[in-house]
Structure formats: structure tokens, C-alpha cells
Amino acid sequence: MPPLTRYFIKTALIYLATALLVGLALAARAAFDLPAEIAALSPVFFHLFMVGWVTQLIFGMLFWMLPKYSKELPRGNEKLAWAAYCLINVGLILRVIGEPLVALRPDLGVGWLLALSASLQLLGGWAFIGNAWPRVKER
Amino acid sequence: MIRLSAWTVRTAMVYLGAGFLIGALMLAQKGVPLDPLMLRMLPMHVEFVLIGWTLQLGMGVAFWILPRFSAEPRYGNQRFGWMAYILLNVGVLSTGVGQWLNAPPLIPLLGRSAELLAVVFFALHAWPRVKPAGA
């Protein structure tokens, strides 16, 4: 298993646990009448799960299992794939910090965090496609 | 990788790229408001990412790695697979884009029907290939 796959999968596992922890907080809010502000974590919960866990797990597996690009570069342009890993994770962490902040304290003026997070995640997703696309080929 | 797999996996990647783009526009809109209409793309975002990307990728990988038969056709009935591919994509576009454009409710309904039929055709293709080694 290549190092990047291990990074993707282990990071995905951390996000899975974090997502379920946030899900627990959301459920506890409803059950114990906790502060309504906790509900601002709802989009964070979905994206920790879908981007942090599902997408990264898939990316790790595809980077490992897709057909080899060539003998010299079996996994294609690895720099692109590493860039995808870094961009998606920095972008997602910025979202986890920024989205509740923007919802609860719009006066702080940190909306740019979300725009930056969006740009980084978009570039990360496209970078992964740039690495994987040439490896998807017919025999 | 057979042609059916390559097309399915590549199409899934197109939806991944589009889904990330739509998601990025909506997230940026929350922080730096440009046009509130962007937030209307949520159903399309969900449709592209969940069905267009995740489900379609699973189907494409299954076409590729499920056990083959020892005699031709080694990959089973690929026509069922192609029907699943076409119907799924008609369904994703009708449901996702239809909801975004506020199309009449019949359009997303037809889209969901196409997705259901796609899953039936996928099962018809995959079912016989889920078998013990050498069978």
C-alpha cells in the first residue's frame, strides 16, 4: 500500500470518528435541550462524513488500486495526488472552523475563511481527478 | 479495465468535479455573498455527489473487479451494464438539473424512476458474477 493511500485512509478514519462525535453532539442537543447554537454544526457533520471519510477513503483506495499509468510512473503524477490530499484537508479544516463561526458570529467578518476553504477543496478535488483520470483506461 | 468500467468510472469523476464545483460555489456564497440563487443548487449538489459520483463509481469498480466467468462472455451480460450506465446518468441529470431549474415535478420523478431501473439492470448484470471462485 503506497504511503499516500495510508495517509488518506488513516486521515479518513480520524474524520469518521470526528463526524460521529459531532453527530453525537447534534443528537444530544435535541435530547437534553442543549444550546440551539450546536445546530450550526449540522453542515459540518455532513461534510466531515462525506468529504473527510467517504471521499478520502475512496481517493486512497483509487490511488492504490487503479491500473498503473506506466512502468516509470505507475501511479501517475503523484505530486497532483499529494496536492489533493493537502488541499482537501486544509480546506475541510477551515470549513469546520469557519462555518459555525460565520453562522454564529457574522459580525467577526471571517466569511473569507469559507471562500478560501471552498477554493482549496475545489482545487483538491480537481487535482485528484487530474491524477486519476489518465489511469482509467481500457485494456 | 473493460470499456464499460472505464466509461462509468470516468463519468463518476466528471460528477465528482462538478459536485465539488457546485459545493464550492455554495460554501463561498455562505461566506462572501454574491448571488443567493447559488444556494438553490443544493439538491443538484447532493444528487451529483451521492448518485453521480459515489454510486456510479461503485458500479464502475464492480463491473471491473467482480469475479469473471471461465467461459465467454467472461464479464457477463454487459448490455445490462450499459443499460444501467445510461439510465443512471439520465436519472442523475433529470433529477439534479430538474430540481435546480424548478422543472415540473414529473421530471425529477422520471429521473428517480430511471435511477431505480438503472439499479435493477445493475443487479441483473452483477448478480451472477457474485459467485465462488472458479464457478
At residue B51 the predicted structure's pLDDT band, cuts being 50, 70 and 90, is very high
pLDDT of residue A96: 96
User: A91 burial class (0-12, 13-18, 19+ CB within 10 angstroms)?
Assistant: buried
pLDDT of residue A30: 85
pLDDT of residue B133: 77
pLDDT of residue A138: 87
Q: What predicted TM-score, i.e. pTM, was given to this entire model?
A: 0.94
The answer for residues whose C-beta is within 8 angstroms of residue B66's C-beta and 6 or more apart is B126, B129, B130
Residues of A in contact with B54 (CB under 8 A): 54, 58
* Best A42, A131, A138 residue to mutate vs chain B (most B CBs within 10 Å): A138
Alpha carbon B121 to its chain centroid, in Å, reads 13
pLDDT of residue A93: 98
For chain B, percent of residues with pLDDT exceeding 70: 100
CB atoms closer than 10 angstroms to residue A70 = 10
**B28·A118 Cβ contact <8 A:** yes
pLDDT of residue B121: 98
* Model confidence at B125: pLDDT above 90: yes
Is B91 or A139 the better-scoring residue by pLDDT? Answer: B91
**B31·A125 Cβ contact <8 A:** no
Q: Which domain holds residue A111?
A: 3-135
Residues of A in contact with B30 (CB under 8 A): 99, 102, 111, 114
Sign of CA pseudo-dihedral A61, A65, A71, A77: negative
Residues of A in contact with B10 (CB under 8 A): 133, 136
DSSP A33-47: T--GGGGGGHHHHHH
Mean of the per-residue pLDDT values of chain B: 95
What does the pLDDT average to over B98-127?
Answer: 96
CB B38 within 8 A of CB B29: yes
* Model confidence at B134: pLDDT above 80: no
Alpha carbon B66 to its chain centroid, in Å, reads 18
At residue B60 the predicted structure's pLDDT band, cuts being 50, 70 and 90, is very high
What does the pLDDT average to over B98-115?
Answer: 95
ipTM associated with this complex: 0.93
Alpha-carbon dihedral angle through residues B21, B25, B31, B36, given to the nearest 10 degrees? -160
pLDDT of residue B30: 94
User: A42 burial class (0-12, 13-18, 19+ CB within 10 angstroms)?
Assistant: middle
**A126·B2 Cβ contact <8 A:** no
pLDDT of residue B29: 96
Our CA-based measurement puts residue B78 at a distance from the nearest CA of chain A, in whole angstroms, of 15
B134 within a domain of the structure (yes/no): no
Q: How many CB pairs under 8 A join A and B?
A: 70
Shortest CA distance to A57 belongs to which of A19, A29, A95?
A19
Q: Which domain holds residue B51?
A: 3-129
Give me the number of domains chain A comprises: 1
Give me the number of domains chain B comprises: 1
**B17·A126 Cβ contact <8 A:** yes
CATH of the domain at B103: 1.20.120
Mean of the per-residue pLDDT values of chain A: 95
Residues of A in contact with B8 (CB under 8 A): none
CB B87 within 8 A of CB B123: no
Residue with cell 443538484: B44
Is A81 or A139 the better-scoring residue by pLDDT? Answer: A81
Residues of A in contact with B31 (CB under 8 A): 98, 102, 110-115, 117-118
CB B59 within 8 A of CB B84: yes
Alpha carbon A102 to its chain centroid, in Å, reads 20
For chain B, percent of residues with pLDDT exceeding 90: 88
Sign of CA pseudo-dihedral A45, B12, A119, A112: negative
Q: Which three cell numbers stand for residue A129?
A: 481527478
pLDDT in tens, A9-61: 999 999 999 999 999 999 999 889 888 889 889 999 999 999 999 999 999 99
pLDDT in tens, A124-136: 999 999 999 999 9
B135 within a domain of the structure (yes/no): no
